[in-house]
A and B are shown apart, each in its own frame.
Chain A
Amino acid sequence: MEFASLSLFNQAIILFAALALFMSFIMLAQARMMPLIFTFAWQGLLLTVVSVLVAITSGHPELHISAAITFCLKVVVIPWLLYRLSVKLNMQYDAEAITHPTLLLLGGVALVIFSYHVSQSIVHLSGLATRNTIAVSMAIELLGMLLMIARKSAVAQVIGFMSMESGIFFAAVVSTYGMPLIVELGLAFDILVASILFGVFFFHLKDSFGSLNVGQFNRLSEANQSMPTADAAAPAPGEHA
């Protein structure tokens, strides 16, 4: 069947799915903290739109509820929590140096190809018009993981984690029209608790290391010692061994 013969709603679902994937790529390329959080919120908004559209086309009204949950959590609460945290930690204008940005993006493209290849066998089992987006949801998940691997900043890693969860939710929506509501509520609650816990962790990390850069965590410091000074920040040769 041709793409053009799908209804406009189904075309819109696919378009917004592709845009959500694009947001994952933007997150990979985005070095600054505030735009990273906003991009995450945009991705949440796109996923909300996709689930509303799926709810309309498939006639599953309960998907409206999960869309509402997604909207509340991923567009409002979690970005707001992260925003507030980065303002409190005075790092809202921070930018981290991404090593090999283009290589990272090409790695992301390779992950998309990989998830397409993997999802081929699942796609045959499904009869839904949106089944092709399963590969996209898997790619969003893997790209979140790549973000966690590639970034040093703890906030970026948390965003990668959240975006992995978005990918799982998205996969559920497009492949089986949503998980059972109880599972979805549980997941949403987990994510909420996780984001609050992460916030507490951020403060502790900032206190004990003076930075949220996970690359510096091998620099152990005793609890009663004074804060590391500027000379101590540059590790002596061989210290990493």
Chain B
Amino acid sequence: MDSQLIEWVLAAAQGLLFIAAAPLLAGWLQRVKCHLQNREAPSVWQPYRNLSKLMGKRMVLAENASWLFRATPYIVFGATLLAAAVVPLVAVHLPTAAIADMIVLVAFFALGRFFTALAGLDIGTAFGGMGASREMMVGALAEPAMLMAVFTLSMTANTTNLSVATEYLLHAGLVLRPSFLFALLALAMVAVAESSRVPVDNPATHLELTMLHEAMILEYGGRHLALIEWASQIKLMIYSVFIIDLYLPLGIATDLGAKSLAIGVVAVTAKLMGLAVLLVVWETVLAKMRLFRVPQFLGFAFMLSLLGMLTHVVLETGI
């Protein structure tokens, strides 16, 4: 009974750490990016300042905003929070990991996207509708690729639960699976598209014709905007941790001792920092692509994950 309580406390602590660290990751990304592009870099704490500033601001709502518009930030934040609880950040085998598997994780993101698109349409401005239609297009193409990659991974690990799969891969050691390589590439492409990064979307601009995600949330301000921005920072972190868990699980805590937890925190921090540097390099060498090339980009991601599934069936079974 007592150990169960500790597990739940740890799970809650991990969830809180997850949402607390997400703006830090965004700040680190911003800082590395500025350094790489020879610009003056803001402090890594800048996203926290932005969030607290937005939290303190008075809310301005459009006259024709319905309850949907007001509820959406909370729904999006809640769905992202639940998704974050599923992903093992520091330790595997926490009780929250059993809530949902990877497929539900994808569904949480879809829920958030659905309500953001509805809110974009709700207010009736041109940009909201445009952003909603674009976001749904990206989502409709990215989701099958993501699911196919998840299926490929879970066929090897024989589970769709992320925590169990992570532990399996941790104990499997070095196995050169081609299917994992393809699934990794597909996941990276989907992660870039879903978390609105270059080359699919540029989160730093509000240029009318190129906005995807920003166009939908243009009408939000104050507390609502803070929640949505925080949710998208958490989403980026979820994708990063998801990829780290599956491809580089080394160092994650398998028991709940203080030492292994400390190692887990250090390991995941180092890996996230490294992954962020990779993402920054990717964003710096690539230019944002035309919207009409996005289906091709995501079609390629789908083809990659399909190829991963096929190589698993063709090459890795029946040996």
Closest beta carbon of chain A to B140's beta carbon, Å: 13
> B319 — which chain A residues lie within 8 A by C-beta?
1-3, 6, 129, 132
> A89 — which chain B residues lie within 8 A by C-beta?
none
B310 engages A8 (CB within 8 Å):
no
Which of A18, A25, A109 is the one whose CB lies under 8 Å from B315? A18
Which of B176, B182, B295, B306 is the one whose CB lies under 8 Å from A14? B176
A17 at interface, CB cutoff 8 A: yes
Given A3-B319, A17-B315, A136-B315, answer yes or no on A12-B176 (Cβ-Cβ < 8 Å): yes
> B182 — which chain A residues lie within 8 A by C-beta?
18, 22
B307 engages A21 (CB within 8 Å):
yes
> A19 — which chain B residues lie within 8 A by C-beta?
178, 181
Q: Which A residues from 8 to 35 make CB contacts under 8 A with B?
A: 8, 11-12, 14-15, 17-19, 21-22, 25, 29
> A1 — which chain B residues lie within 8 A by C-beta?
319
B interface size (C-beta, 8 A): 26
> A21 — which chain B residues lie within 8 A by C-beta?
307, 311
Q: Which B residues from 294 to 314 make CB contacts under 8 A with A?
A: 295-296, 299-300, 303, 306-307, 310-311, 313-314
A19 to B311 Cα, complex, angstroms: 10
> B310 — which chain A residues lie within 8 A by C-beta?
109, 112-113, 116
A77 at interface, CB cutoff 8 A: no
Residue interface mask A106-132, B partner, CB < 8 A = 1: 101100110010000001000001001
> A6 — which chain B residues lie within 8 A by C-beta?
319
Q: Which residue of A is nearest B309, CB measured? A: A109
B56 at interface, CB cutoff 8 A: no
A106 to B311 Cα, complex, angstroms: 15
Number of residue pairs across A and B with beta carbons under 8 Å?
79
Interface of B is mostly: helix
B318 at interface, CB cutoff 8 A: yes
Which of A22, A106, A108, A112 is the one whose CB lies under 8 Å from B314? A112
Which of A8, A12, A18, A29 is the one whose CB lies under 8 Å from B300? A29
A6 to B306 Cα, complex, angstroms: 24
A15 engages B299 (CB within 8 Å):
no
B255 at interface, CB cutoff 8 A: no
A236 at interface, CB cutoff 8 A: no
A133 engages B315 (CB within 8 Å):
yes
A22 to B182 Cα, complex, angstroms: 9
B209 at interface, CB cutoff 8 A: no
7 pairs of residues in contact across A and B, judged by CB atoms under 8 Å: A4-B173, A18-B307, A18-B315, A21-B307, A102-B303, A109-B307, A136-B311
Q: A18-B182, A132-B315 are in contact. List 20 more A-B contacts (CB 8 A).
A: A2-B319, A3-B175, A11-B176, A12-B176, A14-B178, A15-B176, A15-B178, A15-B181, A18-B307, A22-B182, A25-B303, A29-B300, A102-B299, A105-B299, A105-B303, A109-B303, A109-B307, A113-B310, A129-B319, A136-B311
Residues of A within 8 A of B (CB): 1-4, 6, 8, 11-12, 14-15, 17-19, 21-22, 25, 29, 101-102, 105-106, 108-109, 112-113, 116, 123, 129, 132-133, 135-136
Q: Which 9 residue pairs across A and B have the least CB separation, nearest first?
A: A18-B178, A102-B299, A11-B176, A3-B316, A15-B176, A105-B303, A18-B311, A4-B175, A15-B178
Residues of B within 8 A of A (CB): 172-179, 181-182, 295-296, 299-300, 303, 306-307, 310-311, 313-319
